[in-house]
């Protein structure tokens, strides 16, 4: 069931449509062959799905090196103060601006790729009707901040979640649309959005993963399709040839949240 007008206030940036609510019939049937990953875990109590803020890992360190080169390479051009004139001032200011952009871009690219954990799983606990999110926070305006970056675990009521499909233009070589599915947390009994977080890259996969969550929470694990591939152990996968994933921290849930998310009330 699709809606032609946004249900939430405010809608997601680049909103295209809302997906069915937690208690409604899924809009699509999950088809394992087109899904990139099997569930991390599924049993009678909880379903854990893979989730990642960063779509492609490994380019960040190289991009950071290019930004740092941009920041420091022009410095030999700066002239001594006694030789300055109006044109020299413009050149020097330009170099300083490039330095700031290079440092900002280098730190941001490095931290996004290297500090993001190997997985950002989301757990749906059917018996508690709670959703547990292992979430990587980042802030592009504060690339050097310690408090604005890092992993936090958050707990939400299943009935307060809403899924939205959005599409925005992004840097993709010649330009293009970046489609994704996000989850909004609403105030109970309203359409007022408290916060949002990323759920899945790509419309089809996001829709199917949301449908899996609905089927599991409504009917249990027997309603889910059979996946041909076993789940991957993201903490122990072979990352020898990917510097970013090799340096990325492993998933480690806080002990109390880990226990609560895997057990019945």
3-class state of residue 223 by DSSP: helix
Query: Could you read off the pLDDT tens digit of each residue along the chain, which spans 265 residues?
Result: 555 789 999 999 999 999 999 999 999 999 999 898 999 999 999 999 999 988 778 788 888 989 998 888 776 655 554 555 556 677 778 888 888 999 999 999 999 989 999 999 999 999 999 999 999 999 988 988 988 999 999 999 999 999 999 988 765 444 567 889 999 999 999 999 999 999 999 899 999 999 999 999 999 999 999 998 888 888 887 777 777 778 889 999 999 999 999 999 9
170 in the same domain as 80: no
Asked whether residue 258 is domain-assigned, the answer is no
Comparing CA positions, the residue from 254, 228, 220, 180 lying closest to residue 46 is 220
218 in the same domain as 129: yes
Summarised one tens digit per residue, pLDDT across range 70-117 is 888 776 655 554 555 556 677 778 888 888 999 999 999 999 989 999
pTM: 0.87
Summarised one tens digit per residue, pLDDT across range 38-68 is 999 999 999 999 999 887 787 888 889 899 9
Asked whether residue 236 is domain-assigned, the answer is no
142 in the same domain as 36: yes
137 in the same domain as 27: yes
Q: Which helix (H) or strand (E) holds 129?
A: none
- Name the DSSP letter for residue 87: H
Task: List 166's β-bridge partners, or say none.
Answer: 15, 180
Domain that holds residue 84: 61-114
Task: List 165's β-bridge partners, or say none.
Answer: 17, 181
CA distances from 125 to 13, 117, 170, 174, 265 (A): 29, 22, 34, 42, 10
94 in the same domain as 151: no
**Domains identified in the chain, total number:** 2
d(CA 74, CA 82): 19
Residue 6: Cβ within 10 Å count: 15
């Amino acid at each position: 069931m699709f809606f032609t007008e946004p249900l939430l206030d405010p809608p997601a940036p680049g909103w295209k449509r809302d997906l069915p609510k937690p208690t409604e019939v899924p809009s699509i049937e999950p088809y394992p062959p087109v899904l990139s990953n099997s569930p991390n875990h599924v049993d009678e109590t909880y379903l854990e799905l893979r989730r990642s803020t960063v779509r492609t890992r490994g380019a960040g360190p190289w991009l950071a090196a290019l930004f740092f080169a941009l920041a420091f390479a022009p410095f030999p051009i700066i002239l001594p103060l006694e030789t300055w004139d109006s044109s020299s001032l413009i050149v020097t200011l330009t170099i300083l601006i490039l330095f700031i952009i290079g440092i900002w871009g280098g730190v941001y690219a490095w931290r996004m790729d290297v500090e993001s954990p190997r997985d950002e799983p989301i757990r749906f606990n059917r018996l508690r009707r709670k959703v547990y999110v292992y979430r990587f926070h980042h802030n592009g305006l504060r690339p050097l901040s310690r408090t604005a970056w890092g992993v936090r675990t958050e707990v939400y009521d299943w009935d307060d979640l809403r899924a939205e499909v959005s599409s925005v233009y992004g840097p993709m070589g010649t330009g293009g649309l970046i489609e994704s599915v996000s989850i909004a947390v609403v105030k109970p009994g309203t359409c007022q959005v408290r916060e949002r977080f990323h759920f899945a890259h790509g419309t089809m996969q996001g829709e199917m993963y949301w449908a899996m969550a609905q089927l599991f929470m409504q009917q249990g694990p027997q309603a889910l399709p059979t996946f041909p591939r076993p789940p991957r152990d993201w903490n122990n996968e072979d990352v020898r040839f990917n510097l970013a994933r090799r340096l990325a921290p492993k998933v480690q849930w806080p002990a109390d949240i880990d226990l609560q998310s895997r057990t019945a009330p």
